Amino acid sequence: MSGSLNIQAARVDPNLLDLPWRLPLDEWPDEIIAALPKGISRHLVRFAHLSGHVVAVKETTDEMARGEYEMLMTLQRLDIPCVEPIACITNRLSRTGEPLKSVLVTKHLTFSLPYRALFSGRMRKKTANRLVDSLTLLLVRLHNIGFFWGDVSLSNTLFRRDAGAFAAYLVDAETGKLVARSLSDGQREHDLEIARINIAGELLDLQASGRLDESIDPVKIAKRLQETYTSLWTELTQSESFASDETWRIRERVRRLNKLGFDIEEMSITTDSAGTTVHIQPKVVDSGHHQRRLIRLTGLDAQENQARRLLNDLDEYVARHSTSGLPEDMLAHQWLTDVFEPVIMAIPRDMRRKLQPAEIFHQLLEHRWFESEKAGRDIPLTEAVESYIRDVLAHHRDEARLYNPPTGTYTVPVEIVSAKKASAAAKKALKETRVTSHSGVTTGSTAAVSPTTEPTTAPTTPPVEDASGRFVDPLTPAINDEEHEPVPFGEDPDDAIDWRDLV
C-alpha cells in the first residue's frame, strides 16, 4: 500500500505524474511554480506548469478534494461556466513515508481576471455594476440547475471580459450542493444574503485599502445584486396569463428571454376550461442564446455579449450580401474568412496574450466607431486595425495569465498552522481516515521533477515579480502564514487608533 498514489482524472495527462507529489505543496521547487499567490486562504493553493498549461493545485482534505472534483465535473457537464477540473489526487506520501494532504488540480482559466485585478486601476461605477451583474447571471444559472453555492463572493469567481461587460466563472465549489430538485425560495434567498454580505465586505476592504473609486458605494452595489437577481429570476420563471387572442405575448416572452441571452427549451402552455385565458410558464431555460447561434454559424466560441456583438456585425454583412443569393450559413462562413480572420491575423503574435480574439474584435468595432465619428467618415476595418493595435491594444496588459489566490481573504474558523504543524495534522488525519481502495493510477517511484519548457511571460500588473523572481499579487498584503504569537497590546502601531472611528 505504501507509495501508492491515487489519481482520479477525466483525461490522464502522463505529465501529471511528473509533478512532485511526494513533496508538500509549499516545498515545490520554483521552476515548476508559475506563480506564488500571497494571502491566507483556508487551503494552500499554488499555480504550476503542466503540459503547456498552468494549473492551480489546492491542498485539502481527502473528502473535500474528491467532492469538489466531482462537483466541478458535474457543473461542466451541465454547461455552467466554471474552472475545469483536471485531477483529484489522494493517498500522497512524502519521501519518508509520511502522509500528505490530498490535492485538487484545476486548469487555470486563461484570460480570466480576479476581481482585485480589475480594481487595480480606477474602476468606474458602471464597470463595478457590470462585474456584479455578471456574478448575478452566474448565480441565476446555478440556481436554475438546482445548485446552492453557499459561499457566493467576488473572490470565488473569475471574470472574463465580454464586450464591455463580464462573464463570470465559478472557481470554488467547495461549499456547493447540487439539489436534485429545484431550490427552495429559502435556499435561494440564503445564497443572496451570503452574496450581499460577501460582496459588500470585499468592496469595503478595497475601500479600506484606498483602491475603490469614491463614486462606488459598496453597500449599494451589493444590494444591486439582489435587485438584478430578482428581476432576472422573475423573467425566467414567472407564469403569465392573457386572453387567448393575445398569443403574440408568447412570442414576446420568448423574445425578451432571448434578449437576456436565454433560450426556452420547454414552456408549459395551458388554457382554462372556457378556452378564453392562456397561462404560460417557462419550464426549462438555457442561457447562451447568442453563443449557440454564433457557434452554429461560424464555429466561433465566444462569451454571450461578444457573440451578440459579433452577430450584429455578421448580420449586417449578411444583409449587405443578401443579393448574392447565398444561404445565411454560407455568407456567415464568408464573413468569417473575409472579415473576422483577417483582423485576428493582423494582430502581432506578441500581442495575442493580451485579450481573447472575440474581445479584440469587439474592441476594434468600438474603436472604428469612435474613429469614424471623429473623422466624419466611415473608416474601413483594415484601416481601423492599424490604429487600434497602435493606440489601444499595445497599451493593454497581458491578461492571458493573471493569477491571484482564489480567495483573497482569510477564511476561518481555521487555525492557521505552520507547514510543519499542518503536515503533522494531515498525518494524523490521514491515519484516521485513510481509505483503503486503490483503484486508479498507481506509482511507487519518486516523482521526478521535469519543468516544462514553456517560457513564462511575465504578466504586467498584477501580479509582479518579487526579488526572488516569484510572482506575487501586489494587491494583497503579504501575510506570513505561519502561526505566530500575538503581539502584546500597545506594541502594534494600530493599537493607538480609536477603533470607534472605524466601525
Q: Identify which of residues 46 and 101 has a Cβ nearer to another protein in the complex.
A: 101
In angstroms, give the least distance from the CB of 48 to another protein. Answer: 23
b/e burial code for range 11-48 (CB count within 10 A of at least 16 → b) = eebeebbbbbbbbbbeebeeebbbbbbbbbbbbbbbbb
Give the range of 90-98, 383-391, 442-450, 494-502 binding another protein by CB under 8 A.
494-502
Stretch (H or E) spanning 205: helix 185-208
Q: Identify which of residues 204 and 260 has a Cβ nearer to another protein in the complex.
A: 204
Q: Identify which of residues 325 and 477 has a Cβ nearer to another protein in the complex.
A: 477
Residue 406's identity, in one-letter code, is: P
Q: What does the per-residue mask of binding to another protein show for 432-461, with x meaning CB under 8 A? A: xx----------------------------
Q: Does 484 bind another protein (CB under 8 A)?
A: yes
Alpha carbon distance 109, 166 (integer Å) = 14
Q: Does 186 bind another protein (CB under 8 A)?
A: yes
Q: Does 202 bind another protein (CB under 8 A)?
A: yes
What is the distance in angstroms between the CA of the first residue and the CA of the last residue of the chain?
55
68: buried, middle or exposed (CB in 10 Å: 19+, 13-18, 0-12)? buried
Q: Does 198 bind another protein (CB under 8 A)?
A: yes
Closest Cα partner for 261 from 114, 138, 89? 138
DSSP 356: -
In angstroms, give the least distance from the CB of 64 to another protein. Answer: 6
Q: Does 479 bind another protein (CB under 8 A)?
A: yes
Q: What does the per-residue mask of binding to another protein show for 221-250, with x meaning CB under 8 A? A: -x----------------------------
The residues, any chain, with a CB within 8 Å of residue 245's CB and separated by 6 or more, are none
89: buried, middle or exposed (CB in 10 Å: 19+, 13-18, 0-12)? buried
Instruction: Report 104-163 residues binding another protein (CB under 8 A).
Output: 150-151, 153, 155
Contacting residue, 279, 428, 434, 438, with another protein by CB under 8 A = 428
Give the range of 23-31, 88-96, 179-187, 371-379 binding another protein by CB under 8 A.
179-187
Contact 369, 316 (CB under 8 A): no
Q: Does 284 bind another protein (CB under 8 A)?
A: no
b/e burial code for range 103-140 (CB count within 10 A of at least 16 → b) = bbbbebbebbbbbbbbbbeebeeebbbbbbbbbbbbbb
Q: Which three cell numbers stand for residue 170?
A: 465559478
Contacting residue, 200, 264, 314, 393, with another protein by CB under 8 A = 200
Number of residues near another protein (by CB under 8 A): 72
Alpha carbon distance 412, 372 (integer Å) = 54
Closest Cα partner for 87 from 55, 45, 51? 55
In angstroms, give the least distance from the CB of 209 to another protein. Answer: 4
Greatest CA separation for the chain: 83
Q: Identify which of residues 222 and 300 has a Cβ nearer to another protein in the complex.
A: 222
Q: Does 348 bind another protein (CB under 8 A)?
A: no
Instruction: Report 30-69 residues binding another protein (CB under 8 A).
Output: 39, 42, 60-61, 63-64
Q: Identify which of residues 119 and 169 has a Cβ nearer to another protein in the complex.
A: 119
In angstroms, give the least distance from the CB of 155 to another protein. Answer: 7
In the β-sheet with 53-60, what is the strand arrangement from edge to edge?
Answer: 6-9, 84-90, 102-107, 53-60, 45-50, 33-35
Q: Does 414 bind another protein (CB under 8 A)?
A: yes
Residue 292's identity, in one-letter code, is: R
In angstroms, give the least distance from the CB of 94 to another protein. Answer: 16
Q: Identify which of residues 394 and 414 has a Cβ nearer to another protein in the complex.
A: 414
Contacting residue, 49, 141, 196, 293, with another protein by CB under 8 A = 196
Give the range of 17-25, 243-251, 368-376, 484-492 binding another protein by CB under 8 A.
484-492
Q: Does 8 bind another protein (CB under 8 A)?
A: no
